[in-house]
Amino acid sequence: MARASSNFVCQSCGNSTSKWSGRCEACGEWNTIVEEAPLSDGPAGKTLGQAKGRAAKLTDLSHPEAPPPRTACGIGELDRVLGGGLVPGSAILVGGDPGIGKSTLLLQAAAAFANAGLKVIYASGEEASAQVRMRAQRLDLAQAPVKLAAETNLRDILTTLEQEKPALAIVDSIQTMWADNVGSAPGSVGQVRAAAHELTSFAKKRNTSVIMVGHVTKDGQIAGPRVVEHMVDTVLYFEGERGHQFRILRSVKNRFGPADEIGVFEMTGAGLSEVGNPSALFLSERGTPAPGSVVFSGIEGTRPVLVEFQALVAPSPHSQPRRTVVGWDGGRLAMILAVLEARCGIPFAGLDVYLNVAGGMKVGEPAADLAVAAALLSAREDVALPPETVVFGEISLSGALRPVGQTENRLKEAQKLGFSTAILPKGGKAKSGDMTLTEMADLASVVGEVFGAG
């Protein structure tokens, strides 16, 4: 049987072609296509359908085994994002920008799990053991019973894990691992895919939890093929702005707990410290209420979080006004501006619009629509909302306001932080308690009753 021909794979997006070219047709990047050897056909040249294998073991769903116990490390925010603790045999992928604190977080986690009774091995492909020990001394973790390894050869790492049989292995990072049975260079799509597959298979066979660190691209996605995120059980993103001390560990996939859960940390000289009340932290720098400032009560995972939206509307000296957004979706901003103009008669032509989520937080839920519209109106009309007011609600293209989920939890969190008034859509299942609720049917009512415009 003829051997399969080689594939040419883009190292940026993973697109596969039958011939080499200077530019990838899928992502447009230059000089990223390399040749990768195909997988072997199997024993004696047989294909998978011809070779006889072993029968797979079947189990009865009506008699399930007891779920394995989770291990909590004592870092409350990390345990929350993991779904309550570390599950034996799980494969976890952690991604984040360079210098954001991934290695610091995982070294602190390794020490915490080791102190909780787990046997932990920290394998670094980017730093020498002495460098990791220096960081451990700076974080006051030098006495933690964590074993270190500085190695990039995947076969050597797996052999060590086979001998040591740890409960938790941390690999920093997956892009530096080199599998000698793959012909491409370290960090390429083939190498990353092979290393992730071997480490995930080892985790399932030996009941060892494996945490892999992944680099991210300029778009914020984990570098390498997307299939790596499908292989693992949990995908975590470590986010934050360089100018802020806040760091957010966000779960985007979790087979053992709720997705979209967040853990909030604060970067200090002694490492990362967990933040038990993120709402108070994000609003700590909020001074006297000014036009364009609106507090939004949102839901991140299972917890309510209050953040401040800041808007600035100014006359534009250019023929094409600017629309700048930080921490929110620019497409939804354009939609809200169109609804304000078409349904409420509030034009933004000839005006620059700047929108920012204070504290480096990224908000993605549609419930922030009404808070953004209120911030834009407040900035345009130069009218500040009362300081004790929170706003949330979804805006439809017709200008109607739609109720959002977990209204009661949003109001409870706002009341706990001293807010006494809420502007929200009409028709939701809201219990006022001691708060004054201002329910609106459509955006035109907010424009007229709250800001006296339109």
Annotated binding-site residue numbers for ATP: 96-103
Token pair 């020490």 in the structure block, residue: 111
Nearest-angstrom CA–CA distance, 180 and 278 = 45
Residue 227 CA neighbour count, 13 Å, CB half = 13
Instruction: Give one DSSP letter per residue of 406-439, joined into a string.
Output: -HHHHHHHHHHTT--EEEEETTS----TTSEEEE
Q: How far is CA 179 from the centre of its chain?
A: 28
The encoded tokens of residue 128 equal 């020498």
Helices (H), 150-244: 154-164, 189-206, 227-231
The encoded tokens of residue 448 equal 């007229």
| Strand spans (E) along 215-320 | 234-239, 246-254, 262-268, 271-274, 293-300, 303-315
Nearest-angstrom CA–CA distance, 417 and 134 = 40
Map residue 354 onto helix, strand or coil.
strand
Residues, the chain, total?
454
Q: Residues annotated as binding site?
A: 96-103
The residue among 426, 394, 424 whose CA lies nearest residue 411 is 424
Helices (H), 154-308: 154-164, 189-206, 227-231, 278-282
The residue among 287, 285, 293 whose CA lies nearest residue 355 is 293
Going by the DSSP 8-state scheme, the letter that residue 373 receives in this structure is: H
Q: How far is CA 90 from the centre of its chain?
A: 18
Residue type, 53: G
